[in-house]
Structure 1
Amino acid sequence: MTSSTYYQFAKDFFSTHGCSILETSERSMEVQLTSDMDEALMNRPFYWHYMKKMNRVGEAMKLTFTDGLMEENNGIHLHAGTPKLHQMYQLAIDRSYSTRLYEHLSALTVNQPLHPWMVLNIKIVYRGKQTRDEILSVGLNLINGALLSGMVDKIWEIDFCSTVSDFSFPMTPVVRMESGYQRILNYVKDQLASLHDEWATESLKQLDSEKDLLHHFYTSDDVDEDYYEKELDQLQVRYKPRVAIHVANGGLFYLSQETSQSLFRQT
């Protein structure tokens, strides 16, 4: 990434979170933080605690950023190691765990329903002789219960907004949220169960081989028993095959019936 890339990220980040941005030059911008962003980024908990206790609005601070190419020594120069940039990264991750978005529909003249889709991006972690991670994106239509894989790729080009378009309305889910969440997890588990397990077999073979070798050294060289037990535990950690499922993020995406139907034609 270049310094200009970091600068553009900062600009998009603050715009997304409702901050006012004044570009003072081609490579510098002044950001008027919102109260929310000030609390999250400026490390002034006592100030905001006092403002809230006194039932006062409080005054959010301003920040100046540059893309790191300016000669003037003012503002926060954005580069890979900028602490404030990493704060923004972490905040973006924390606040992107879940979302609710609506398909943008323009020029509607009659009411059109929006179908709710629950989308979960799930990280599959394989550990054993070989390790790898895999991301699965699964969508569940909360009206008819239809499931689709590769969901993020399918909806990536759709124009979404945070508010409902005129003459459209979100439908009430038929499938309960808790049930839908579990359906997606069960679908992922079923997919994993259908995979070939050669990698697990190879891991177990390697584990047995390493345990035999360790036992040989233990019996022949009079290795300390505590050391032997620790090494045995480490072999289990290193080679015992296991799979973990982590929900990375997800959300509710409301799509028109036409768009929903088009998703199935992409499969």
Structure 2
Amino acid sequence: MNNASHYDFTKCFFELNGCTIKEKNPKHMTIKLTKEMDEALMNRPFYWHYMKKMNREGEPLSLSFKDISLGDAEEGIFLHAGTPKLQQIYQVALEKGYTTRLYEKVDSPSQNLALHPWLCINVKLTFRGKQSKDLLLSLGLNLINGALIHEAMNKFLDVPLTSSISDYTFPMTPLIRLESGYNRLLQHIEDYLSELDTQWADQSLSQLHYERKLLESFFQSKDVDPEQYEKELEQLHIRYQPRIQLSVANGGLIYLTNETSQKMLTNYH
């Protein structure tokens, strides 16, 4: 991400969170924070605690940001990858963006238009053993007909989405319950993993067996505390025992027209 992208992201973040933005030029902006954003970013817990205790509204602060190319000519926080405030904004965005609900933007449909609900989750699969690697999966499940796609977020990037529903459109009630849909996605991930090459796990187990034999030989030839042996053995298992960890990064409901939903399935395989 370049410096211009950092600036655009920051501007979009504050706009989506209801802050007032005033730009001096395309590379400098001053943001009037909302109370929520002040509490999240400005580290003033005692101030807001006092305001709540006194039953007062309080006054959110303002922040000024500038692209690093402006130098010292303007006041404000430089926006680049190492900016602490930018890292803080990213963290808040991640926390707020763990779940979402978005709608396809439809301009003046000729008749009332139904929107299909898609349950989307982004997961990280972490493979641990002799060697380690991460695998990212983005899955989407149509909660009307059960269609399932991979690389869902890449497909959704081409769709105009908004947090509010367009006029003359309405969200369809899911035929597949959210809990059931989520379990379907988890089952699909299990099936997906069962079809992967297990050579990495076989190599890990082989290495674990080899290291354990060496450890046993060493402790049999030395007068060593058995408790120490158990600790060493535990560390070997932590290092070489093959395992897969699944963590859900984020997810949400995305409502799409039937036409767009059909496009999601194009070239799925």
1:20 paired residue number: 20
1:241 paired residue number: 242
1:219 paired residue number: 220
Q: Work out whether residues 116 and 173 of structure 1, in 8 Å CA contact, stay in contact via their aligned partners in 2.
A: yes
2:144 paired residue number: 143
What is the rounded CA distance, in whole Å, between the counterparts of 1:255 and 1:20 in structure 2? Answer: 30
What is the rounded CA distance, in whole Å, between the counterparts of 1:2 and 1:166 in structure 2? Answer: 36
Task: For residues 77-97 of structure 1, give each alpha carbon's deviation from its aligned partner in whole angstroms, at most 9, with x where no partner exists.
Answer: 334333222211110111111
1:56 aligns with 2:48: no
Aligned residue type for 2:114: P
Tell me how far 1:184 sits from its aligned partner. 0.7
Q: Work out whether residues 154 and 266 of structure 1, in 8 Å CA contact, stay in contact via their aligned partners in 2.
A: no
Task: For residues 6-62 of structure 1, give each alpha carbon's deviation from its aligned partner in whole angstroms, at most 9, with x where no partner exists.
Answer: 333322322222212222345432111111111111112232233334443321111
User: Using a 3 Å threshold, how does the CA distance of structure 1 residues 128 and 18 change in structure 2: closer, same or farther?
Assistant: same
SS at match of 2:237: helix
1:36 paired residue number: 36
Tell me how far 1:63 sits from its aligned partner. 1.1
Tell me how far 1:5 sits from its aligned partner. 4.1
Task: For residues 110-141 of structure 1, give each alpha carbon's deviation from its aligned partner in whole angstroms, at most 9, with x where no partner exists.
Answer: 00100000001111111111111111111111
SS at match of 1:265: coil
Instruction: Between 63-72 and 204-213, report the one with greater CA deviation.
Output: 63-72
User: Using a 3 Å threshold, how does the CA distance of structure 1 residues 150 and 26 change in structure 2: closer, same or farther?
Assistant: closer
What is the rounded CA distance, in whole Å, between the counterparts of 2:48 and 2:40 in structure 1? Answer: 11
Q: Work out whether residues 143 and 175 of structure 2, in 8 Å CA contact, stay in contact via their aligned partners in 1.
A: yes
User: Using a 3 Å threshold, how does the CA distance of structure 1 residues 85 and 236 change in structure 2: closer, same or farther?
Assistant: same
Tell me how far 1:157 sits from its aligned partner. 0.5
What is the rounded CA distance, in whole Å, between the counterparts of 1:48 and 1:189 in structure 2? Answer: 46
What is the rounded CA distance, in whole Å, between the counterparts of 1:15 and 1:256 in structure 2? Answer: 26
TM-score in terms of structure 1 length: 0.92
2:107 paired residue number: 106
What is the rounded CA distance, in whole Å, between the counterparts of 1:66 and 1:13 in structure 2? Answer: 15
Structure 1 unaligned regions, length at least 5: none
1:169 paired residue number: 170
Aligned residue type for 2:10: A
How many residues get paired?
267
1:95 aligns with 2:110: no
1:124 aligns with 2:125: yes
What is the rounded CA distance, in whole Å, between the counterparts of 1:25 and 1:102 in structure 2? Answer: 32
What is the rounded CA distance, in whole Å, between the counterparts of 1:232 and 1:176 in structure 2? Answer: 45
1:192 aligns with 2:193: yes
Q: Work out whether residues 116 and 254 of structure 1, in 8 Å CA contact, stay in contact via their aligned partners in 2.
A: yes
Tell me how far 1:2 sits from its aligned partner. 4.8
Task: For residues 197-234 of structure 1, give each alpha carbon's deviation from its aligned partner in whole angstroms, at most 9, with x where no partner exists.
Answer: 22111110000001111222222344443333222111
Q: Work out whether residues 217 and 223 of structure 1, in 8 Å CA contact, stay in contact via their aligned partners in 2.
A: no
What is the rounded CA distance, in whole Å, between the counterparts of 1:28 and 1:165 in structure 2? Answer: 32
What is the rounded CA distance, in whole Å, between the counterparts of 2:74 and 2:200 in structure 1? Answer: 55
